[in-house]
Amino acid sequence: MDFKTLCIHGNEVKYDDTGSIIVPIFQTATFAHPGVGQSTGYDYSRVQNPTREHLEKTIARLESGFDAMAFSSGMAAITALMEMFSPGDHIIASDDLYGGSHRLFYNISAKNGLTFDLVNTSDVSQIESYIRPQTKALFIETPTNPMMQVTDIALVSRIAKSRNLLLIVDNTFLTPYFQKPIELGADIVIHSGTKYLGGHNDTLAGFLVVANDQLAERLRFIYKTTGACLSPFDSWLLIRGIKTLAVRMERQQENAYQLAQWLSRHSKVKKVYFVGLATHPDYEVSKRQSTGFGAMISFEVRDEETVKDVLERVALIQYAESLGGVESLITYPVMQTHADVPEEQREAKGINGRLLRLSVGLEAVEDLIADLEQALGV
């Protein structure tokens, strides 16, 4: 079945007999038992709920996974994932991580005995040099947030399998429409469902998608025990959002490509980070492992005064922290998404006071360009 069709009909299980085209919102905390030792298949909504199950089965099919778990946020999903590991375990992660992941690793997971090394995972030799007996997993974002570095998933998968390590891939920026990490060898895929999967800036969600039954069993136990499951109503919002995922991703990517080209020519813009530009150093890797480039752009302007001008002058584009929705949003990483990353580490990656991140939405690209043009000035 084609991906576009799966977005709409990803789970064909019927949960009621009314003929409803849309899966109902089963807004219940618990379910009655038909008799002693008997179950309808649903007992308590923290463990499973029909609306959430519909969503999870759809996501699993879209990602070519064995199972998927829907969480109350992307960070809730990563927090549960960290419970797979024990004190003393070591994880190698991309050094250009979403700031929330960095904050979790070094303020919560480290307190619980886990250790981390952050490396440029687009350079495979760096990964290999940091592997040690205690290493249990490789955790990569690709493209990374906000510097848009790309990691060769299939190549890193071969390293992980040769060393008996889990390969975990955050696929939030590209979604399964443009990139399928499990088909490239990943064991676990992460999503902030708040972003492109939901697509409308109206709810929080997170996902873990696993490649096999053993991982599903381990994470399902953690999931029901820690309890950060997605509510029935929010599950329904994600189901609705996913129906238009394919058409949204295509249009947003088209807009982003035109904006990236325009920004590249502007006198006040020093550098543009967009995977879809042929000048991007990882362009060929992206073409090999993905069917598209997404709609995220970071760009560096010539001074911090220009940053202030842009953030205070944009009118159509909104200065807000998030991404992936139909509305275009602009973010200032050093004060928002990456404020908790130590300054020395930020600067080393190019996340400086002149960097802006743009999530390109569905507005007419001519209007977006006009808005940036007046905000940047001459």
Catalytic residues: 46, 98, 170, 195
Residue at token pair 């064991």: 187
* Residue 143: cis peptide before it, omega within 30 degrees of 0: yes
Q: Which structure tokens are listed for 376?
A: 């940047």
Backbone phi and psi for residue 115, each to the nearest 5 degrees, phi listed first? -120, 150
**Helix axis angle, 304-313 to 365-376, nearest 10°:** 130
Instruction: Report the distance separating Cα 73 and Cα 198, nearest Å.
Output: 11
Q: Which structure tokens are listed for 300?
A: 């560096």
Instruction: Report the distance separating Cα 100 and Cα 105, nearest Å.
Output: 9
Q: Decide if 219 contacts 80 (C-beta within 8 A).
A: yes
The Cα-based distances of 20 to 15, 17, 23 in angstroms read: 9, 8, 7
Q: Decide if 246 contacts 4 (C-beta within 8 A).
A: yes
Amino acid, single-letter form, for residue 163:
R
Instruction: Report the distance separating Cα 245 and Cα 239, nearest Å.
Output: 10
Instruction: Report the distance separating Cα 7 and Cα 240, nearest Å.
Output: 9
Nearest to 236 by CA among 210, 205, 191: 205
Instruction: Report the distance separating Cα 210 and Cα 168, nearest Å.
Output: 9
Bridge partner list, 176: none
Q: Decide if 95 contacts 119 (C-beta within 8 A).
A: yes
What number of other Cβ atoms are within 10 A of residue 209's Cβ?
31
